[in-house]
Structure 1
Amino acid sequence: MEWTSQEASTGITKPKTEFVISHLAKSYGKKEVLTDVDFAFEEGKIYGLLGRNGSGKTTLFNCLNSDTDFNFGKFFFRIGDRTEEVQSDDIGYVLSTPTVPDFMTGREFLKFYLDIHKDKIVNPKSINEYLDFMMIPEDTRDRLMKDYSHGTRNKMQMLINIIGRPRLMLLDEPLTSLDVVVAEEMKNILRDQKDGRIIIFSTHLLDIALDLCDEIVLLNHGRLEPIDKENLSSDDFKEKIIEALRDAGDE
């Protein structure tokens, strides 16, 4: 099933959007977690945010989603020669531990979401079409989500972010605890959804980043370091990244 963006459905060509983080810093007391995060992410790409456990990936996402304050810096969208402030609806945040209401069934949850966002959804589909797209088993759809597997709860969390089509999607280690089949399904869905949006995918697993992402940035000593795309196919690329991660150490 193909879901088109508003741009595609109207035939209007717009300048590419960038999400710009400018000199963002975050400390907890005397502990510096993010020292100078400065990077521009381009529309239409999946970025792998690679870093060791404890390197600050979740902290960065929490700052961008306004879940925690930061000490310095800013972030905004840049479209051509103009900038726009980031609004709450612009960001979809998929947590590593899915947050869906246990007391609702998958069908009820999706219906509730569609009802309260009906004026914002482009090219709406039926509930079953959405659930089919996400490969939610039919015998699961009318069960309480508290009884769902981790993978299915993750799919439901991902689904509402896909439907809402935020300009920026933040995915915090979403594949780490999934079985191989569900993880592959999720990767294919993300590849299908990157057009017209910016996806930043955090992970500490290099193989996942190499398999899924168009570009990789390394969170190292509180800063983002871009990895040259030409290195993605180089034989010694993995060793270079592993060495950089080793140098970063646990923070």
Structure 2
Amino acid sequence: MEGVISLQLVLDKITKQFNEKQVLQGVEQRFQKGKIYGLLGRNGAGKTTLFNCLSGELKMDGGRALLEIDGAERELREQDVGYVYSLPILPEFLTGYEFVKFFMDSNRHENLQADLTIDQYFDMMSMAEEERHRLIKGYSHGMKNKLQMLLFLITKPPVILLDEPLTSFDVIVALEMKKLLREMKHNHILIFSTHILQLASDLCDELVILNRGQLASVSPELLRSPEFEQSIIELLKDESHAEGS
């Protein structure tokens, strides 16, 4: 999406229901390229459900998601979205290097033009030579998340969703990932869900709260204020949540 002047993700009245539980109740929001958005909400509020609807993992009951590129709108497509799962799903019988090579080879028919060599991508993720050639089965949770992120450096999806990222990383790797996300935001729409308020206030340009099935923006002034954490807790503490959504 380099060269695109304006890029926005538009959520238009998205609804999703499980049995009698209305998890998403007409979600509306705009997300812009060039910012890191934090999605806050209590466990079960529907953060993962929203991400699954945007990625195509779940079918929306109503509403739609649009991509607005330089003022022209179109439906959001599955290939527009990169999804970093909280529990990475990777082929553990391959080495990291073998997996990335397979990924690049199998996506060539999609007109994938890799800008760098495989080793250069691993260098960007600060993954050492021996780590690249170890079986993914032996990777830590944080290493697997880094490998997921590497794929999006190659494919460059306009929208990247991160479900509870950075929580499994040690301090050094977390700092590396924060730096990478800040660099990537210039060409992508980045949204990550988290329940860690300190991470949200440290990394995000803007925050949105999912509460009672709808999204609400947090003012930038509140995000930087000393009362930030207490204010967010007050907004969320009356949420009647359903585990697992």
Global fold match (TM > 0.5): yes
Q: Taking every aligned residue pair, what percent have the same amino acid on both sides?
A: 46
Deviation at residue 177 of structure 1 after TM alignment: 2.1
The SS at the match of 1:178 is coil
Structure 2 residue aligned with 1:37, among 27, 37, 50?
A: 27
The SS at the match of 2:178 is helix
1:227 has 2:199 as partner: no
Q: Distance in 1 between matches of 2:118 and 2:72?
A: 38
Sort the Cα spacing of 1:224 and 1:144 in 2 relative to 1 into closer, same or farther, 3 A. same
Sort the Cα spacing of 1:80 and 1:158 in 2 relative to 1 into closer, same or farther, 3 A. closer
Alignment of 1:51-66 (within 5 A): 51-66=41-56
Q: Distance in 2 between matches of 1:197 and 1:181?
A: 24
Contact 2:9 2:67 in 1 (8 A): yes
1:154 has 2:145 as partner: yes
Alignment of 1:94-173 (within 5 A): 94-118=84-108, 120-122=111-113, 124-173=115-164
Which range moved further: 81-90 or 105-114?
Answer: 81-90
Runs of 4+ residues over 3 Å off in structure 1: 118-123
Deviation at residue 178 of structure 1 after TM alignment: 2.1
Deviation at residue 52 of structure 1 after TM alignment: 1.1
Q: Distance in 2 between matches of 1:114 and 1:201?
A: 25
Contact 1:171 1:201 in 2 (8 A): yes
- Cα deviation digits, residues 61-80 of structure 1 (max 9, x gap): 00111111221111111234
* Counterpart residue number, 1:83: 73
Which range moved further: 137-146 or 212-221?
Answer: 137-146
Q: Normalization by structure 1: what TM-score?
A: 0.91
1:208 has 2:199 as partner: yes
Structure 1, gaps ≥5 residues long: 8-13
Q: Distance in 1 between matches of 2:68 and 2:115?
A: 28
Q: Which amino acid aligns with 2:17?
A: S
Deviation at residue 122 of structure 1 after TM alignment: 4.5
The SS at the match of 1:161 is helix
Q: Which amino acid aligns with 2:106?
A: I
